Structure 1
């Protein structure tokens, strides 16, 4: 079955929303699609205005959240306020107008309205380094366009066009994302990859017809939307990464294999993948996550809520009972800073909440200071927590 064009898929999801048959997963996709595809200027008139569609999406989101009593968002006492609909939406994919955090000993979230703070430490942005097959290096960012042969970049994504000429030789490029960066790449077979801060992907400029399609996540975090094997004569897609190999038939999943961390997490959003690691193969189903412990050489699989795991690609960081140490690793990569804990007891304090990725670093620290951190200092690009 051929993949629908974006507008066709968008309209199909709208039809399902209106007839009540839309699934939770489809609703999440519609939410993100609705707010992040500005090129969709119009749709059939019977759907109503943009405001009417937005209200219907919010209504369905609220209904679904209320039905799921186990969802953590229910304990946040905001549901009687107008902002609730944005909080609910943020638990899926929307950007919210407030940033909030609260720790495990405090049931009331600390709330700070975003403001722009002039400082040297800025949130991350679209930027990457492209290394070509001849070793030459191209800097990619929003300030410039790039085009060469079958590859082009508009500053926020890089696209490899399908090569009509048959090739028998694999030629590799590297896309490296620094700390404080992120980037989107579309491979020559149509596979899309979103790369998080401090990540590197090795991939062919074009794939050989009829052979297994292989890429390597050298390190870091990436979200894959793999072009179906049906569109490529049944050829599999394989992602190699350190101590594991992931066999894919056409699906969406997230891999987190950050530098200096001893666990590799693979989270399946839809489809099916096979994790080949530590001498064994294990099948992963949607809403499951594999945890490869490199040090202890074992793989475990658990059911998870995928939304917090993939929120980074949709403009949010969602933390569910994460330690401050874990959260600060994310902050370090996105804001390109180093964080030092003077008070080691802070490392284990648990937080949950949502951060819009474009808020200032001082807003995040102010929120945390109101609940757990006694004080902090910023010295150049080093943040000292006390």
Structure 2
């Protein structure tokens, strides 16, 4: 068993508070063969370690990591958000997450004994690939995972909608809508090669084909979307723009995330790679990678801050990453993915903060069990699609 001191250092390390000497002590502890199992368990407990893994990427430690990682059957390919992160390490660490855990500052001093008090009437499955495609004439087509669909200018395999590259430029620009309901997600590849990941409860309006001379422009009507934009050099120099109400993001071949849900008072733009210019009512700001802008739609207040981009965009790769998020904020995100509503019987629970990673393929029941195990809540009830936390 790890000593209390090591446990404390690990907690500080995962929250970016460890000193250089503490990191060195942790490194030495990890390199001890007797701690292989413990270290493997800590890797499972929190994916946040991946960003700083290169500090342990030396000799014996790396060999130990490779051996442990080779045991895992599931490997999910993940494109690294930060170029300084090892692509291979990031991908394999994602593969070793098999259980969901939440942490708060007092984790290692918490008493997690006791029998959970739980009342359930149903099991809540995670979301899946599904969307509604609205064609130019108003006809709606339901797209579901495992079901194929095809029209003259596009096709879908049930997870992704792909538009053909038009050889002839149409005289009139036609638009389609892709709507992802609660409990859903979907991918789309536009006719210019731009790829878009749509999160739950989102809607995108876009041209079936981008006509020459009119530029490339789409509308995020509401919700959240991650864009990997085809560069202007591949599209006759035409820049790409994303609109949301009066909010505009002017793009030059890049990757970024926009969050603009109906119940949000602000629009958040997070830049992963490249360059974007964010415009809102004559206010314009350029973003650098790892920066996030927020526009308050009511006060027209504009702010830019540095963020951990993985926490903002991990949803598209099958995970929710939280860093000191309140239980209320976490539940608001989970409600969209699991298509549920949450009621806090004890309002004080709303402000308890956590950090950790959730695998989106897990059942909601498993997440609630974990929260209960760490004595964050006393009990919970599931009635139809309503969760009551006590």
Partner of 1:328: 331
Aligned pairs for 1:175-254 (under 5 A) are 175-254=178-257
Flag structure 1 segments of 5+ consecutive residues without an equivalent: 1-65, 112-116
Aligned pairs for 1:330-345 (under 5 A) are 330-345=333-348
Please tell me whether residue 378 in structure 1 is matched to residue 382 in structure 2. Answer: yes
For the 8 Å contact 1:257–1:264, the answer to whether it is kept is: yes
User: How far 1:107 sits from its partner (Å)?
Assistant: 4.6
Q: Which one has the largest radius of gyration? A: 2
Structure 1 length normalisation: TM-score? 0.76
Distance 1:375 1:169 in 2: 58
Secondary structure, aligned partner of 1:334? helix
Name the CA shift for 1:90/1:201 in 2 (closer, same or farther; >3 Å): farther
Partner of 2:350: 347
Secondary structure, aligned partner of 1:123? coil
Per-residue CA distance 1:112-134 (angstroms, 9 max, x = gap): xxxxx994421000000000000
Distance 1:279 1:231 in 2: 29
User: How far 1:106 sits from its partner (Å)?
Assistant: 3.0
Secondary structure, aligned partner of 1:82? helix
User: How far 1:105 sits from its partner (Å)?
Assistant: 3.8
1:82 aligned to which of 25, 37, 40 = 40
Partner of 2:69: none
Secondary structure, aligned partner of 2:253? coil
For the 8 Å contact 1:276–1:282, the answer to whether it is kept is: yes
For the 8 Å contact 1:328–1:339, the answer to whether it is kept is: yes
Structure 2 length normalisation: TM-score? 0.75
Per-residue CA distance 1:228-285 (angstroms, 9 max, x = gap): 0011111110000123100001100001111211121110000000000132110001
2:15 aligned to which of 47, 50, 72 = 72
Flag structure 2 segments of 5+ consecutive residues without an equivalent: 1-8, 31-37, 52-89, 113-119
For the 8 Å contact 2:123–2:365, the answer to whether it is kept is: no
For the 8 Å contact 1:210–1:232, the answer to whether it is kept is: no
Distance 1:226 1:148 in 2: 24
Secondary structure, aligned partner of 2:226? strand
For the 8 Å contact 1:110–1:367, the answer to whether it is kept is: no
Partner of 1:172: 175
Distance 1:169 1:104 in 2: 58
Distance 2:231 2:309 in 1: 21
Distance 2:111 2:246 in 1: 41
Per-residue CA distance 1:169-210 (angstroms, 9 max, x = gap): 111000000000000000000000000000000000000123
Distance 2:262 2:179 in 1: 13
Distance 1:215 1:109 in 2: 49
Per-residue CA distance 1:318-339 (angstroms, 9 max, x = gap): 1000011110011100000011
Partner of 1:304: 307
Partner of 1:132: 135
Partner of 2:71: none
Distance 1:276 1:360 in 2: 39
Please tell me whether residue 265 in structure 1 is matched to residue 268 in structure 2. Answer: yes
